[in-house]
Amino acid sequence: MNSFPYPSMRDRFDLRFYFVVGPDDCGNRPILDVVAKALDGGASFIQLRAKTQDVAEIVSLANDIAEEIAGHHVEHSVAFVVDDRVDAALEARAKGIKVDGVHIGQDDLDPVVARKLLGPDAIIGLSAKTVDEVREANHLPEGTIDYIGAGPLHMTATKPESMIVDENGDITTLNVSSIDEMRTMSKYPLIVGGGVKADDIPMLAKTKADGWFVVSAIAGATDPEQATRRLVDDWTAIRGDEKPRYTGRKPAATKLPAVLTIATTDSSGGAGIPADLKTMLANDVFGECVVAGITAQNTTGVQAIAAVDPSIVGAQIDSVFDDIRPTAVKIGVIVGVESVKTVARKLRDHQATNIVVDPVMVATSGSSLAADDTIAEEISSLFPIATVITPNIPEAQVLAQMPIGNQADMETAAVQLAKDYGTCVLVKGGHGVKDADDVLAFPTGAVTWFEGERIANDNTHGTGCTLSSAIASYLAQGEDLEDAVRDAKAYLSGALRANLNLGKGHGPMDHAWAMH
């Protein structure tokens, strides 16, 4: 059982408005009241700094403060750490108290040891007084600490131990140029504190610092809420109020299934390879492409088309499969018989899976995209390795050699093609007069209809490319074919419904409709 049930705050803390507080800093007031007021005023980070309390007292205080933060419903945005006491932080976390980490000083526990003890999910902040200490922090092993607290800005009674003594033995403090030098040097976000008062904020906000940290400017104020709000407002007046994203920490490695399109470019971006890659991006897979033809094309037609040397087509496939191996492959227009043969051979060699073949013959604009001998080669060498082929009605008429005038004809053609080629066949109804229903036939003779409401949008350039790429994307994510078609169709419908209107002819769709 995980006794600490909260997600790590390491990738989501907000250092800008950092309140450091202990029971002895609040005069006669209960610390919880002061913390509550600071939260009301906009504090974005809380540190419990209890120098004279023992572990049991710190854990109990931490429990109360964590509950106060949760009571304000900011436990997922306001991080809470304890100063120095890794032992107390560990005990609190083991008890399920939401202590997100620790802040440690130069003379406290070694940060490397603290990281070992606390594990990878806890925030660790480190104090630094000088550029040299920042440089040393940079040399810590990757992932040891999360931020730097630099100071003091002024001499302070709350932290007498944090004086900076220069080479002459004189006591010094930070200033604009030393702050900027430290922040420039630092791999980590850096906040400045130590005697910081409200009057300092406009100056600090103009430095490269990522935020301020204060004790008495809030804990010692007559009205801690108002004091916090002023510190926050004076900062955001200069820096804006956007929550920062720190880039210092490398996030945990992530994986995406890769999907490859083997197709032809469309210079206007709405169909072919550009449409395929945009579809993959929008459907949570990593898109790769093998260019098997080039068009000069826009929404009014295909002005020119060129083949790519078949050996270059083959080399691209090798490059892709030898490194980021795709889980699914979408095949669109391939220009030239030799390139079709090469694609079929390479996909067999690399044992490609989840192959979606879109047997494109004519673009939405009416321009022809495939010569008869190329189509014949696709039928003989690509259909046998396909998981599914996706002809539209005109293409299905050619392939099945029958006229298609209604939905019964669509189904008959799909069933016949599925039997003939031993593969699944999706006959798409975009060219039908009624609705936008598609029919999927299996080699067994089974049939599934996918109903789609016809969307009143003539900007359908790239619908077929987009649907087949989306099917490949969902297959790569482990869906079965029926679910993949259903989800792909839903994505496509959204892209049509977004009603993008570009170009003089049948324009492209908005592939990013769900991302805006």
Ligand X SMILES: Nc1ncnc2c1ncn2[C@@H]1O[C@H](COP(=O)(O)OP(=O)(O)O)[C@@H](O)[C@H]1O
Ligand Y SMILES: Cc1ncc(COP(=O)(O)O)c(N)n1
Give residues in contact with ligand Y (CB under 6 A). Answer: 263-264, 266, 271-272, 295, 297, 332-333, 360, 363-364, 369, 461-465
Number of residues that bind ligand X (CB under 6 A): 20
Min separation Cβ 346 and ligand Y, Å? 20
- Near ligand X by CB under 6 A: residue from 392, 397, 459, 473: 392
SS3 107: coil
Q: 398 contacts which partner out of ligand Y, Mg ion, ligand X, none, CB within 5 to 8 A by kind?
A: none
3-state secondary structure of 200: helix
Closest CB 431 distance from ligand Y, rounded Å: 10
428 near ligand X (CB under 6 A): yes
Q: Name the residue nearer to Mg ion (CB basis): 329 or 492.
A: 492
Q: Is the peptide bond before 189 cis (omega within 30 degrees of 0)?
A: no
Give the angle 294-459-476 at the CA atoms, nearest 5°. Answer: 60
Stretch that binds ligand X, among 45-53, 93-101, 373-381, 459-467 (CB under 6 A): 459-467
For 185, the token pair is 């040097």
299 touches ligand X by CB under 6 A: no
Sole binder of ligand X in the list 365, 397, 463, 473 (CB under 6 A):
463
Known catalytic membership, residue 462 = yes
404: exposed, middle or buried (Cβ count in 10 Å: 0-12, 13-18, 19+): buried
Q: Is 463 a catalytic residue?
A: yes
Annotated binding site: 47-51, 83-84, 108, 127, 156-159, 195, 215-216
Q: In 3D, which of 75, 105, 61 has the Cα closest to residue 12?
A: 75
Write the Ramachandran bin of 42: left for phi over 0, alpha for psi from -120 to 50, otherwise beta: left
Query: How buried is 339 (Cβ within 10 angstroms: 0-12 exposed, 13-18 middle, 19+ buried)?
Result: buried
User: Which residue has its beta carbon closest to ligand Y?
Assistant: 272
User: Is the sign of the CA dihedral 247, 249, 255, 261 positive or negative?
Assistant: positive
Of 337 and 427, CB closest to ligand X: 427
Q: Give dist(CA 475, CA 480) in Å, integer.
A: 6
Selected binder of ligand X within 419, 431, 443, 505 (CB under 6 A): 431
- Least spacing, CB of residue 495 vs ligand X, in Å: 9
431 binds, among Mg ion, ligand X, ligand Y, none (CB under 5 to 8 A by kind): ligand X
Assess whether 419 carries a catalytic annotation.
no
Under rule CB under 6 A, residue 72 binds ligand X: no
DSSP tag of 112: H
Interacting partner of 272 out of ligand Y, ligand X, Mg ion, none (Cβ under 5 to 8 A depending on kind): ligand Y
Does 419 help bind ligand X (rule: CB under 6 A)?
no
Q: CA angle at residue 356 from 353 to 360, to 5 degrees?
A: 150
15 binds, among ligand X, Mg ion, ligand Y, none (CB under 5 to 8 A by kind): none
Minimum Å gap between C-beta 269 and ligand X is: 16
Residue 31 contacts residue 57 (beta carbons within 8 Å):
no
Which one, of 105, 99, 65, lies nearest residue 82 by Cα? 99
Min dist. Cβ of residue 227 to ligand X (A): 58
Given the residues 125, 151, 336, 464, select the one marked as catalytic. Answer: 464
Instruction: Pick out residues in 121-180 that bind ligand X (CB under 6 A).
Output: none
297 contacts ligand X (rule: CB under 6 A)? no
Q: Are strands 147-150 and 164-165 parallel, antiparallel or unpaired?
A: unpaired
- What residue numbers does the annotated binding site for Mg(2+) cover? 84, 108
Pick 8 or 367: Cβ nearer ligand X:
367
SS (H, E, C) 353-412: CCEEECCCCECCCCCECCCHHHHHHHHHHHHHHCCEECCEHHHHHHHHCCCCCCHHHHHH
- DSSP code at position 243: P
Query: What are the respective helix, strand and coil percentages of the chain, to the nearest 5?
Result: 40, 20, 45
Residues that bind Mg ion (CB under 5 A): 360, 464
The residue from 465, 466, 489, 507 that is catalytic is: 465
| Catalytically annotated residues | 428, 460, 462-465
**Residues in contact with ligand X by the rule CB under 6 A:** 364, 392, 428-431, 436, 438, 452, 454-455, 457, 460, 463-464, 467, 489, 492-493, 496
